[in-house]
Amino acid sequence: MDERDFVEINRSYPGGTQAYCRETIPRIGRNDPYVTQIHIDNILEQGHETAVSFAKALRGNTNVKVVCFGINHNDVFDLILSALTETQVEEIGIWPLAGTLPTRSERAVCANYYATKIAKTINFIPKVRKLVLSRCMIGPNTAMSLADNIAENKTLLHVDLSDNAIGDDGAAAFAHALLKNSTLKELSLDNNQISTQGQIALRNSIYDTSSFDALENCNHTLQSFFNGSPRNVFGKAVMQDCFHSLAANLRSKTRKEAITMKIHRCLQKKYKIKLQHQSFSCMQSGVMPYLLAFISKRCVVATMYDIIRGFPNLLEMDQCNKSGNDDLTDKLGTLKIED
């Protein structure tokens, strides 16, 4: 990385923090295009007035894209976080091992405080794309607060919560948030004390086969739950379902394509159907009309060659439903996909 692209606010800056304050805060204030990434650390050593000056300089800045916080005192963080709502910052992170607080317990409390504040502010930072809160001692309560805000967020693409302790309650909160969020691509949850219960909730957020309606309403945009090994998040009970569903989301260009891949897997796994006419003929007759109606309305039928050969009028079923067979569609939401 070119030195001019990274200004680090700590003791390693030539001349120390005081020199940084004297030389760099004005550059940020005048929107210097070479100052794009900032690591904020130890700024409070220069007093509260310096923190106020730094926050004021940030407001309205359009060139700073990455801001990383060390662990310091709360009032500094509040000032700067408030200023970020008036910037074009795209990435925010916390380095819990950096900062002036001397003990591990103090850093843990402060890191969790930072994460809680970010959770409440993230939707007011207009261009943020990436949020890194790894190793911030985040528990279920903070995770649930963050999940509530991510559910409504329209800009975040990557969220890293690895090496925290969100547990099953936090996992369930994020699973619920994913049903509403349609922009997030990566949610890293490695090493978060998530048991089988939480893993199933996460699986169901991207692949819920309890009914055809539930399958359609899953998240079809998320592409990853992990930074490292998937075993850091999932056990054997849900591993394969998660792999296939995340791959379907990754490979699909549209929502319909993702649903098509998932219904394909569901039919093969639960009904032993291989999308051939003969396989469909063996299904219980009560399910057939609803299943075909689901496929004709929600899937990319053109890619299901065997279905089209077996049911050449399948594409016309949608028109039949519109012309008076609404009962078929009404029943889809309650029809169970039974084992």
pLDDT one digit per residue (tens) for the chain, 339 residues: 344 444 545 545 666 667 777 788 899 999 999 999 888 766 656 667 888 888 899 999 999 999 988 766 566 778 888 999 999 999 999 877 655 566 777 777 778 888 888 989 999 999 999 999 998 889 999 999 999 999 999 999 999 999 999 999 999 999 999 999 999 999 999 999 999 999 999 999 999 998 888 999 999 999 999 998 999 999 999 999 999 999 999 999 999 889 988 988 887 787 666 655 555 555 555 666 677 777 777 777 666 655 555 555 554 444 444 433 444 444 444 445 544
**What does the pLDDT read at residue 322?**
41
The pLDDT value given to residue 275: 57
Helix pair 167-178, 196-206: axis angle to 10 deg:
10
Can you give the C-alpha Rg of the chain in angstroms?
A: 25
- The sign of the torsion formed by the CA atoms of 82, 86, 89, 91 equals positive
Q: Among residues 78, 79, 136, 81, which one has the least CA distance to residue 104?
A: 136
pLDDT of 227 reads 92
SS3 (DSSP) at 312: coil
Q: How big is the CA angle at 194 (ends 189 and 196), to the nearest 5 degrees?
A: 125
Q: Are strands 6-9 and 66-71 parallel, antiparallel or unpaired?
A: unpaired
pLDDT for the residue 39? 80
pLDDT the model gives residue 83 = 93
Instruction: Give how far the C-alpha of residue 270 lies from the chain's centroid of Cα atoms, to the nearest Å.
Output: 29
Give this prediction's pTM.
0.83
According to the model, what pLDDT value does residue 302 have?
66
- Distance CA(268)–CA(277), nearest Å, equals 13
